Chains A and B, each alone.
Chain A
């Protein structure tokens, strides 16, 4: 009936981090307790670009046991050669950890992505338990996907 229906975009807005991992690490060191650290991580997640519900599809889902994670790969708008991604989770902390992965990977060159060991980075933040390969969770699967997409 109406002709002015906005057409759905092909991809959600890609994550373009506003800080470096080193800055994140410095900020993290300011907190005394884990409640505050988790609050900060949740805030990072809340600041992610919106991930429209139409992208929360089975095809975009990364398999995990405890929470759901969706991932859409793409390219950095400022530089089409750099890999970027959009992602979301139905769990707040997981979404915040997705933002941390954004700081590590989104907008980086394929070579940089290949050279980053996210386990070490998460270890630096004291978050290693969220990304140990023995945990069959969505984040571990997400890192695998990011590495595959960046190589392609």
Chain B
């Protein structure tokens, strides 16, 4: 099935055509056309994903693995085919390096609880950046508390960029784990993963990348990035929620103890002692998210079917257009203007709380996120309590940026 998908010709990128693939984009909210600018929180799903999941439930559903009957074999084949699709998508060397999780948060918690507990000793250091999402902070705090390890934070620059020099200042012989976002969910900053990987490995530390925002905007090759763990969620990648991926180097997964116990993850169980299955099964206790995994596989097939280089250029165009137009609205200030950015733009408006902005924009059909974006430490660094954030996916248009601008002018009138 995946072989067939790969042989399908790649469509030339046409945003009007792309929009037709996403049923929800034709709906209205509050009597206005939907302008969905919140894909960084969760992306909309193409028909192909919905169809694949319906097909899985209607025709090919049973529990996976060790079923002796045809239907279970079929479901298992589909589930494992999704794993192969993920492997190829991120250029991992083997299927067994792909662990399906509940989501990216679950994947990071897995690494912290399993790998972290295995290696961290009192005084060891975990290096994070000031722009991390709470899900790449709190799991490390939990394991630091349990092991006596210490968290060190790499500061960011005023424009939201991160200097490699700052990493060089913080990473030292005591560093065991470095955990960073590929792309900031608030600022859009793209982090120099290859260089951070080199610095980490020089001192023998492992690098985890929170790829939630990274994998949706660019082609990810985990081998080229040089990291040791890469975590992402399905629902931001135009797939369903309740499915995430942890990629880890085979030798790390082999050495790591299980994260949760249950069915599927064992080899032999007696009341005296149990032995574990090989990875990835070792980390997939219980019945896995079967249909969400199949849905994620369909999302990957969908993305493989479009010209992703052109899609990335389209997203960049939207970002640059928004970055040029937003400051023309009186009182609007951009938050996050690093050179290397993905299509995520935070902003504030003088005299208007981001929550109020989002509330008024909603009545124009414009969906933006407002708040601390699960990055309270970053808000402190930026000196704000909240921002409004517009994020652009493959299906957004310049016309939608225009609609945002018109709605912002209206909001300004209401809120001044």
Contacts and interface: CB of A to CB of B under 8 A. Distances in A.
Interface in B386-416: 386, 410, 413-415
B193 interface: no
A66 B369 CA distance: 9
Given A93-B355, A93-B360, A42 B371 contact: no
A93 B359 contact: yes
B414 A39 contact: yes
Nearest to B370: A66
A66 B363 contact: no
B354 interface: yes
A68 interface: yes
Most buried by B among A39, A68, A93: A93
Nearest to A35: B414
B183 interface: no
Interface in A13-53: 34-35, 38-39, 42
Contacts of A39: 414
Contacts of A94: 353, 355-356
A92 B371 contact: no
Given A65-B371, A65-B372, A66-B386, A34 B358 contact: no
- Classify the secondary structure of A's interface with B: helix
Contacts, number: 50
Interface in B340-387: 352-356, 358-360, 363, 370-372, 385-386
A35 B410 contact: yes
Contacts of B355: 66-67, 91, 93-94
Give the contact-size bracket for chain A.
10 to 19
Contacts of A148: none
A65 B386 CA distance: 9
A115 B256 CA distance: 55
A130 B360 CA distance: 12
A58 to B, nearest CB: 13
Contacts of A38: 359-360, 363, 414
A27 to B, nearest CB: 17
Given A91-B353, A93-B359, A94-B356, 17 more contacts: A34-B360, A35-B360, A35-B414, A38-B363, A39-B414, A66-B354, A66-B355, A66-B371, A66-B386, A67-B353, A67-B354, A67-B355, A91-B355, A92-B353, A92-B415, A94-B353, A130-B359
Closest 6 CB pairs between A and B? A91-B353, A67-B355, A34-B363, A66-B371, A66-B355, A91-B355
Interface of A: 34-35, 38-39, 42, 65-68, 90-94, 130
29 contacts: A34-B360, A34-B363, A35-B414, A38-B363, A38-B414, A39-B414, A42-B414, A42-B415, A65-B372, A66-B354, A66-B355, A66-B358, A66-B370, A66-B386, A67-B353, A67-B354, A67-B355, A67-B356, A68-B385, A90-B353, A90-B385, A91-B355, A92-B352, A93-B353, A93-B355, A93-B356, A93-B359, A94-B356, A130-B359
